[in-house]
A and B are shown apart, each in its own frame.
Chain A
């Protein structure tokens, strides 16, 4: 059996009095997109942040067989992780070009790819990121993650708060990304998930309650039970 690209075992996160992740375990195979699904507040974003070491956590995290749970965040990222955070987190006072330049690692920045995917970023290179629209800020956030070659991309709700036309644009870009990169995608829009993902991992109350393929989302009873959407027969 092939070693998964990312193997998470018994991951626990406590923030204050809250036990957010209660022994999360799942694998991410190399290639394509694995969607991390669940209702609001079940720990999807915390899972991504825990993989990156942005929150204190306990458990085992292996990237291509290498244990990374003791590494600092910058060290984990330098092993080849790209991150698109939930709220974009662009640096509002920096220009678009500075936001991208800050993300450069190892001298192999792929500006051609980023500007090919998002030509608007080139036009707005000198504009302060804080003055961009939500959709444009999402382009910066995704572009920042794609600037370097990644072994794994962690993408947190890339379509959140975007107009339908922009959701389609972002989905198109992620579809193209998925051809060459492996990604974990947190996404509420099941249409986008169905279009992009191969595998799914469903969380509920800090635990993994289902793993399978994206085809499982065709089962409306399952979708209703796990995600609380769709029709209950």
Chain B
């Protein structure tokens, strides 16, 4: 029972990271029709930004303070980087889907190469508060504390996104834009501002996933963004392109499936996720939740 509980919480923690990446991906595709293969780069930039700032802060304050400050900078850098990508690279290519794919794939590869060029291929250790590396006993299972942080962060981001989409003017524009972008512009709304905002929010959430993945794996490496992005894409497809709630549900399903199958079937968790995707697409091609932000 304790093993099952540990697998469950760990699966939820993994799913939380998938959700943080997938939520931005999903909104960007839903609103703009952009398949953003550079989304993993936002995660990488956030993770490395946090690691870099933390390494430069030296002995200033406590480990916790240094980590929080570094993470804050990492998140801002991830969000700003994403907004710049939208303004400089994506905006001139709206409705040119092939070129968008090429430019985002290129940016993804270039970001990995740049990080490797500056900091090398080796993983960099994350200096995080000691509490995160300890465990909390629940139902006989020793649960690593960082799993709770992952889950709490994802729940907060989900609640924040839902509130943003429901109660703000820009949220209204995004929800409408996911349904019919042309009609939004025909109401006199400059939807491009919403595009930049969605990229920035997506970048921020991906950067948060980068920081949390650094804690989860205790290190960050140049390929982290790419590897998480693959599963985030699967989550988005299963959950419904453009649906935040669908992404949240699919993230939990994928994270749990991966953990359970990995443990009970000798490490074929990744394969099980791909099979799950195939099953969902066969059973319901429109995916779980359709296009609803």
Contact = CB atoms under 8 A, between A and B. Distances in A.
Interface of A: 52, 54, 72-75, 77-78, 83, 85, 89, 91-94, 98, 101-103, 105, 144, 148
B172 A93 contact: no
Contacts of B176: 91, 94, 98, 102
Interface string B169-190: 0001101100110111111111
A74 B189 contact: yes
Contacts of B261: none
Contacts of A98: 172, 175-176
A77 B183 CA distance: 11
B185 A74 contact: yes
B185 to A, nearest CB: 4
Interface in B179-210: 179-180, 182-191
A103 B175 CA distance: 14
Contacts of B182: 54, 73
Nearest first, the 4 closest Cβ-Cβ pairs linking A and B are: A77-B188, A73-B185, A89-B183, A91-B176
Contact of B180 (A74, A78, A89, A101): A89
B292 interface: yes
Given A94-B176, A102-B184, 7 more contacts: A54-B185, A74-B187, A77-B186, A85-B186, A91-B183, A94-B175, A94-B179
Given A102-B172, A102-B173, A74 B188 contact: yes
Interface in B22-66: none
A106 to B, nearest CB: 9
A63 B173 CA distance: 27
Interface of B: 172-173, 175-176, 179-180, 182-191, 292
A144 B188 CA distance: 11
B162 to A, nearest CB: 13
Nearest to A76: B188
B183 A72 contact: no
Nearest to A55: B182
Nearest to A53: B185
A53 to B, nearest CB: 8
A212 to B, nearest CB: 29
A128 to B, nearest CB: 11
Nearest to A105: B188
A92 B180 CA distance: 10
21 contacts: A54-B185, A54-B186, A72-B190, A73-B182, A74-B185, A74-B189, A74-B191, A75-B190, A77-B185, A83-B186, A89-B180, A89-B183, A91-B175, A91-B176, A92-B179, A93-B179, A94-B175, A98-B172, A98-B175, A98-B176, A105-B187
